[in-house]
Structure 1
Amino acid sequence: MIEIIRTEQQHVSALKSMLFRVWHQTYAPFLGEQRVDHLTEMWHQPAKLAQETADGACATFVALDGGEVIGHVLAADEGEGHIHLMRLYLDVAYHGQGVGDRLLDAALSAFPNGKCVTLEVYEANLRAVSFYKRRGFVFREKLRDEFASDELYEFRMWRAL
């Protein structure tokens, strides 16, 4: 049975490994292996992941299957009811089973006074774009990826809470 629980310090190492694996599953086809390696190393440092678990402005949850981290969500309160969905990742073996929905619901329910939520998603990540649209998110703008030297775009999406 898959359980969704708050991320704790003890999950950090397994979370880093899961993020590395899922980033390669998701982004390597259009970013390339080398860029994915660089970005995951930059953004998923154990110290950063550990700090997020202790940050009171963040809601961070993991999905566990038999104790193994198979998914993760991170959202942050940016003030005045604005919530930013910073991460939502799930091992591809668990797609289509409702785990992504449960992770998103856990993160958003952590902010009972939230008014809206925003996120950024790569235009080429069609499965994620479709998921967010099904969950009521709409496009706000199309942005050029600041970390890419080529023409790579992401959508900023928004939803009222």
Structure 2
Amino acid sequence: MFFVRTASERDLEKVRALLAETWHATYDTFYGAEKVNELTAKWHSIEALRARLQRKHSEFVVADNGRELAGMGYAAMSESLEKTAVLHQLYVLPKHQRHGVGRDMFAELETCFPDAERMRVEVEPQNLHALAFYRAHGFVEVAKTSSCGDEQSGIPALILEKRLS
């Protein structure tokens, strides 16, 4: 059984490895291993993860069973959108998907922002499993972007949003 807890500095190397594995499993078919390696090196470096861990008005969680991490999630209050929390990352190792790990991390993250009225997430349009997950959790499409994650990524995404109570 996995428990959701706040991530710490000691988790960062395991989170980096988890992200590399899940990104290759998910995105290699869309972008190729070379592009995934490039993005993973940039977005999932220890330094990038440490910056997320230290960011104010954010929550960084892991799913831990005492032996391994099965997933990670990261959300933060938007700096540009009023009363909006942005779910930047929610990833589960392929061998642990469809066992409730993502659901449990998401349930924790959506309660961490009492001032937020909505949560937003960007999803690759070809990632049908992720789209199904978010739609099942109340998200609806509100926009599209041609550069998910940062202005130079060139990765298209659907922008989904959910009202929070």
TM-score scaled by structure 2?
0.90
Report the counterpart of residue 6 of structure 1 in structure 2: 6
SS of 2:74's equivalent in the other structure is strand
Find the aligned partners of 1:143 and 1:110 in 2 and give their Cα distance: 26
Residue type at the aligned position of 1:59: E
Residues matched between the structures, number: 158
The answer to whether the 8 Å contact 2:70/2:101 transfers is no
In structure 2, the residue matched to 1:157 is 160
Q: SS of 1:14's equivalent?
A: helix
1:83 Cα offset (Å): 0.4
Identity of aligned residues (%): 27
Residue of structure 1 in register with 2:124 after alignment: 122
Query: Which ranges of structure 2 fall in alignment gaps of 5 or more residues?
Result: none
In the alignment, the residues of structure 1 paired with residue 146 and residue 56 of structure 2 have an alpha-carbon distance, to the nearest angstrom, of 31
Q: Deviations over 1:63-85 (max 9, x none)?
A: 11333122010000125321001
In proportion to residue count, which structure has more strand? 1
Take 2:6 and 2:126, find their aligned partners in 1: how far apart are those partners? 30
Residue equivalent to 1:41: 41
TM, length-normalised to structure 1: 0.92
Aligned-residue CA RMSD in angstroms? 1.3
Shift of 1:156: 0.4
Specify the SS of the correspondent of 1:147. Answer: coil
Shift of 1:153: 2.8
CA contact (8 A) 2:62 2:73 kept: yes
Name 2:91's counterpart in structure 1: 89
Q: CA offset at residue 25 of structure 1? A: 0.7
CA distance in 2, matches of 1:143, 1:113: 26
Distance in 2, matches of 1:30 and 1:108, equals 29
Q: Which ranges in structure 1 are unaligned for 5 or more consecutive residues?
A: none
* 1:95 positional shift: 1.4
Question: After TM superposition, what 4+ stretches of structure 1 lie above 6 angstroms from structure 2?
Answer: none
